[in-house]
Chain A
Amino acid sequence: MQFVSLEWAMWMVATFSLYWLAPPNWRQATLNALTMAFLAYRSPGSLAILIAFAFLTWTVVRLPRPSSLVVVAVTLAFVAILASFKLQARGQAIESIISEGLIPLGISYYTFRCLHLIFERYRGRFAGAMPREIAGYLFFLPTIVVGPIHRFGDYQRDVHRVRFEPALIAEGLERILYGYVKIGFLANYLVNGQLDALRTQFPPTSGLANYLYIVEGGLNLYFQFSGYADIAIGFARLLGFRVIENFNWPYLQKNLSDYWRNWHISLTSWCRDYVYTTMVSFVRSPAIGALTTLIVIGLWHEISFRFIVWGLYHGFGLIVWQRFQALKPHLSPVTSKPARAILTAISTVFTVHYVWFGFVIVRKPDLAQVWDVWTAATVGFFR
């Protein structure tokens, strides 16, 4: 099921109505029941896995001090289950992945939410969470399908002060509207319709056709994904919750480091907290930490060679940026305002193109084709 469908709109309306009609003490249970009904209807396998994951998570977080061995064993079990589904779906078209249920709905998102709870418990960060709060957090319908990977602390803060707030509901409706505009109008109509039609007017091997292919991929992914995030965030606000933002103008950032702080924020902040900091504390090298984190982010999307290459591509970009930052104090500073503005503009354009060129790695089946697109979109203009 797509978010842009009458079916999803009806789920949102039904959830909103039943949730607010329920007595305050029953609201979370109502929402949990609706999430279960949704998953039972759309992806029964996913419901079974989510229940098993929630049970296992609860078993670990109720321990006063879970040992490292328990945390490592449970983490490996979660990751192995997630990886087995991802390997099963490798190379399949997205339509068949959804229709044949090759990957349980939302498993990548709720696996990371379960691990977040376990890691936070291990670090002694939260105590006294009730089973119904943990269930409410894991079975939170707005974010179950396509994120964001919201944090338990935010959920726990909101769940205690949920009330029918017309201003928050108006904000939610506005975000949902913007989400539909991004997905429907900007991504589907403008980028995939009009821009694609423009691209096909040029010979396929020309520089412009290949450059437009790269731009189209970058814009489509951003408008679609941030549109889905808007709908999820808006839906959460309709229920009285503020979940983490997932995007903050990522294509207008002036370097790769800022880009990663503003793209899929909930995933990158999760990986920064649990992968990067762990790696850096072990190996004492920010470069290896960045490289490992980006490879994990790549593998989270798909377990394949191309996503490892994509992770290495971004990891390498971040290492170059880190090295440049270390060199910066030795360079003469740019003091003039116009020169700084020009440098910022060049840096922003370079960053967004680095990111868009990177998307080609995961859009093409092999590296030879990626190289063809890259060369055509650059030196192809001068042939």
Chain B
Amino acid sequence: MYQALCKHMPFLPRGAALTLASLWYVLMLALAVVGIFQPQAEFTYLAM
């Protein structure tokens, strides 16, 4: 994400890009943790 921000938004200062990328990862991590504790749905591709 940090590399993508630097590439697509070159006007963004490095510090701001780093902060935004960190916030993005924290958000993703939080969503993943929330999701991991949900009941899992059927998924027929697994183990086939």
Listed by A's residue number, 11 A-B pairs whose Cβ atoms lie within 8 Å are A3-B46, A94-B44, A97-B48, A145-B47, A174-B1, A177-B25, A184-B38, A189-B34, A192-B39, A225-B43, A301-B45
- Given A106-B47, A178-B28, A185-B32, verify A94-B42 contact (CB < 8 Å): yes
- B43 touching A185 by the CB < 8 A rule? no
Out of B1, B29, B39, B46, name the residue touching A188 (CB < 8 Å). Answer: B39
Bound CA span A2–B46, Å = 8
Decide if the interface of chain B is mainly helix, strand, loop or mixed. loop
> Inside 8 A of A192's CB, which chain B residues have their CB?
38-39, 41
**Nearest CB of B to A278, in Å:** 24
Decide if the interface of chain A is mainly helix, strand, loop or mixed. helix
- A94 touching B28 by the CB < 8 A rule? no
- B31 touching A145 by the CB < 8 A rule? no
- A94 touching B32 by the CB < 8 A rule? no
Name the CB-closest residue of B to A98: B47
- A146 touching B35 by the CB < 8 A rule? no
If A185-B34, A188-B41 are given as contacts, then 5 extra A-B residue pairs at C-beta distance below 8 Å, sorted by A number, are: A4-B40, A94-B42, A185-B32, A186-B35, A221-B43
Total contacting residues, chain A, CB less than 8 A: 35
Out of B33, B37, B38, B46, name the residue touching A94 (CB < 8 Å). Answer: B46
A206 an interface residue at 8 Å Cβ cutoff?
no
Out of A180, A186, A224, name the residue touching B36 (CB < 8 Å). Answer: A180
Bound CA span A94–B44, Å = 6
- B41 touching A187 by the CB < 8 A rule? yes
Out of B25, B36, B46, name the residue touching A184 (CB < 8 Å). Answer: B36
> Inside 8 A of A220's CB, which chain B residues have their CB?
41
- B35 touching A181 by the CB < 8 A rule? yes
Bound CA span A110–B13, Å = 47
**Nearest CB of B to A132, in Å:** 27
A24 an interface residue at 8 Å Cβ cutoff?
no
Residues on B facing A (Cβ under 8 Å)? 1, 25, 28-29, 31-48
Out of A94, A103, A108, A302, name the residue touching B43 (CB < 8 Å). Answer: A94
- A181 touching B31 by the CB < 8 A rule? yes
Name the CB-closest residue of B to A108: B48
A256 an interface residue at 8 Å Cβ cutoff?
no
> Inside 8 A of A105's CB, which chain B residues have their CB?
47
**Nearest CB of B to A217, in Å:** 10
Name the CB-closest residue of B to A224: B43
> Inside 8 A of B45's CB, which chain A residues have their CB?
146, 224-225, 228, 301
- B47 touching A184 by the CB < 8 A rule? no
> Inside 8 A of A145's CB, which chain B residues have their CB?
46-47
- B28 touching A177 by the CB < 8 A rule? yes
10 closest cross-chain pairs (CB), A and B: A184-B35, A185-B35, A188-B38, A180-B32, A192-B41, A185-B31, A224-B43, A184-B36, A189-B38, A181-B32
> Inside 8 A of A184's CB, which chain B residues have their CB?
31-38
Q: Which of A293-314 contact B (CB under 8 A)?
A: 301-302
A193 an interface residue at 8 Å Cβ cutoff?
yes
> Inside 8 A of A180's CB, which chain B residues have their CB?
32, 35-36
